[in-house]
């Protein structure tokens, strides 16, 4: 207890020391917040921008239902947001907070900023005190069946990032400090004790010299009798480079990207093995997320018989690039032409011929080939 009291007395007696202590703590927090926000923003926005390109189709009897939910899901979910902005905000909130609540209200879809969830074992959960922007629905509640509620199922992401960011922030701060010290100009000014300059005048003189050195390419300042300026370091000592600092930020982004299932070369814009990275990204990151959204929309939206929401996200299925594969699928009789259209995200065409299996380019069984060959031999 005596040691704690001693430190407290020192801080109280020396307000400058107390201020420096608080500053050091504030800088440490600022570095952690900066790195954490940088990593999360980079990765979550990358996923959100991908999801914002999704096409939500209200289908009825395998045809696009023009009078259904298509406008709200693809054009204008509410009065203040476009569909692209809306889904980007949904995904960002989902990743950051591990959950997002969407309220269908008066022909709009509203993203709740905060809410209270009352859980029940045998009945649907109830959402109360739902707040959208600055408005709170005080006297209205929603059952789970009436809302779109998505969870990311990654409760440990925030806690893991806090611990990870702490280590990176310490390293990041050490590199910044070392870099500043390496390029710092350090010197001293000696005043002759005979001179009767007050502490304020001495400080004012030092500030003028510091300003001249700091703000001018060529700094010349006068030295009066009894005043001596001595320089110990001119800032030419090599220390950690900017690349070393960037490596720390990149390493943290890589760790967050791996947690979310994003190939790191996509996050940084590297073109090496771009096609393979895109396939992995769509299959293991975007695909499960779109499936989660599609399942929730189909379960909660007011859909009629033979109606469903079909979600078509960004894919690698470029019809032109895969024309040869499409030809083989049809020519071998494995798929009809309408089935191939559905594989590539197009609607079925109203043509009965496209629902027939066809075989082209002499696809035949071994028995047929042997029979034909024998007939030719006999004719010869």
Give the mean model confidence (pLDDT) for residues 367-379: 53
Give the mean model confidence (pLDDT) for residues 215-225: 65
pLDDT(211) > 80: no
Q: Pairing between strand 126-132 and 135-137?
A: antiparallel
Q: How confident is the model at residue 268 (pLDDT cuts 50, 70, 90)?
A: confident
**Which pLDDT does position 14 carry in this prediction?**
43
pLDDT(24) > 70: no
Give the mean model confidence (pLDDT) for residues 218-227: 67
CA 173 and chain centroid, separation: 24
Give the mean model confidence (pLDDT) for residues 212-229: 67
Task: Give SS3 for 30.
Answer: helix
Structure tokens at 345: 């995200």
pLDDT(171) > 80: no
**Which pLDDT does position 373 carry in this prediction?**
54
Compare 247 and 101 and report the one with higher pLDDT. Answer: 101
- Cα angle value 308/310/311 (rounded, 5°): 145
- Residue 99 has φ and ψ, to the nearest 5°, of -160, 155
Structure tokens at 97: 């907070």
Compare 346 and 109 and report the one with higher pLDDT. Answer: 109
**Which pLDDT does position 1 carry in this prediction?**
46
Q: 72-76, 228-232, 275-279 — which one is most confidently predicted on average?
A: 72-76
Q: Shortest CA distance to 72 belongs to which of 107, 111, 112?
A: 107
pLDDT(25) > 70: no
Torsional sign, CA 16, 21, 25, 31:
positive
Compare 366 and 151 and report the one with higher pLDDT. Answer: 151
Structure tokens at 351: 């043509």
Q: How confident is the model at residue 203 (pLDDT cuts 50, 70, 90)?
A: confident
Contacts for 235 with CB less than 8 Å, ≥ 6 apart: 182, 183, 184, 185
Phi-psi region of 161 (alpha: psi -120 to 50; beta: other; left: phi over 0): alpha
- Cα angle value 194/197/201 (rounded, 5°): 155
> How much is the mean pLDDT over the chain?
77
pLDDT(85) > 70: yes
**273-300 tens-digit pLDDT:** 888 898 899 988 999 999 999 999 999 9
pLDDT(330) > 90: no
d(CA 97, CA 259): 15
SS3 for 185-241 is: EEEEEEECCCCCCCHHHHHHHHHHHHHHHHHCCCCCCCCCCCEEEEEEEECCCCCCC
Q: How confident is the model at residue 238 (pLDDT cuts 50, 70, 90)?
A: low
Compare 339 and 142 and report the one with higher pLDDT. Answer: 142
Whole-prediction pTM: 0.69
60, 306 in Cβ contact below 8 A? yes
**Which pLDDT does position 156 carry in this prediction?**
63
Q: How confident is the model at residue 338 (pLDDT cuts 50, 70, 90)?
A: confident
> How far lies 292's CA from each of 197, 286, 288, in Å?
75, 10, 6
Compare 264 and 187 and report the one with higher pLDDT. Answer: 264
d(CA 185, CA 183): 7
Give the mean model confidence (pLDDT) for residues 313-336: 78
Contacts for 175 with CB less than 8 Å, ≥ 6 apart: 240, 244, 245, 248
The answer to which of 4-18, 97-111, 171-185, 263-277 has the lowest mean pLDDT is: 4-18
């Amino acid at each position: 207890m005596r040691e704690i009291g001693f430190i407290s007395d020192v801080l109280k007696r020396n307000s400058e020391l107390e201020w420096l202590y608080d500053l050091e703590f504030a800088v440490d927090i600022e570095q952690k917040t900066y790195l954490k926000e940088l990593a999360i923003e980079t990765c979550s926005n990358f996923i959100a921008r991908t999801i914002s390109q999704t096409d939500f189709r209200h289908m009825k009897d395998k045809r696009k239902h023009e009078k259904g939910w298509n406008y709200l899901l693809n054009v204008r979910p509410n009065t203040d947001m476009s569909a692209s902005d809306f889904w980007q905000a949904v995904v960002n909130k989902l990743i950051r907070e591990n959950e997002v609540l969407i309220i269908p209200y008066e022909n709009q879809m509203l993203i709740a900023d905060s809410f209270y969830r009352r859980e029940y074992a045998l009945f649907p959960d109830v959402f109360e005190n739902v707040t959208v922007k600055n408005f709170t629905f005080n006297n209205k509640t929603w059952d789970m069946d009436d809302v779109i509620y998505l969870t990311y199922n990654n409760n440990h992401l925030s806690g893991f990032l806090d611990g990870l960011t702490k280590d990176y922030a310490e390293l990041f701060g050490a590199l910044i400090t070392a870099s500043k010290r390496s390029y710092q100009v350090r010197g001293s000014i000696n005043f002759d004790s005979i001179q009767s300059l007050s502490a304020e005048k001495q400080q004012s003189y030092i500030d003028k010299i510091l300003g001249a050195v700091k703000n001018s390419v060529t700094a010349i300042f006068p030295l009066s009798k009894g005043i001596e300026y001595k320089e110990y370091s001119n800032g030419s000592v090599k220390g950690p480079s900017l690349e070393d600092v960037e490596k720390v930020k990149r390493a943290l982004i890589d760790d967050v990207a791996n947690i979310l299932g994003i190939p790191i070369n996509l996050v940084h814009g590297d073109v090496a093995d771009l096609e393979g990275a895109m396939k992995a990204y769509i299959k293991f990151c975007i695909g499960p997320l779109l499936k989660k959204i599609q399942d929730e929309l189909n379960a909660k939206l007011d859909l009629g018989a033979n109606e469903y929401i079909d979600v078509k996200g960004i894919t690698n299925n470029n019809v032109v690039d895969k024309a040869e594969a499409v030809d083989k699928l049809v020519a071998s009789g494995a798929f009809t032409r309408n089935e191939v259209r559905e594989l590539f995200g197009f609607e079925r065409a109203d043509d009965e011929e496209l629902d027939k299996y066809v075989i082209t380019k002499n696809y035949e069984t071994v028995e047929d080939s042997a029979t034909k060959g024998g007939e030719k031999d006999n004719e010869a």
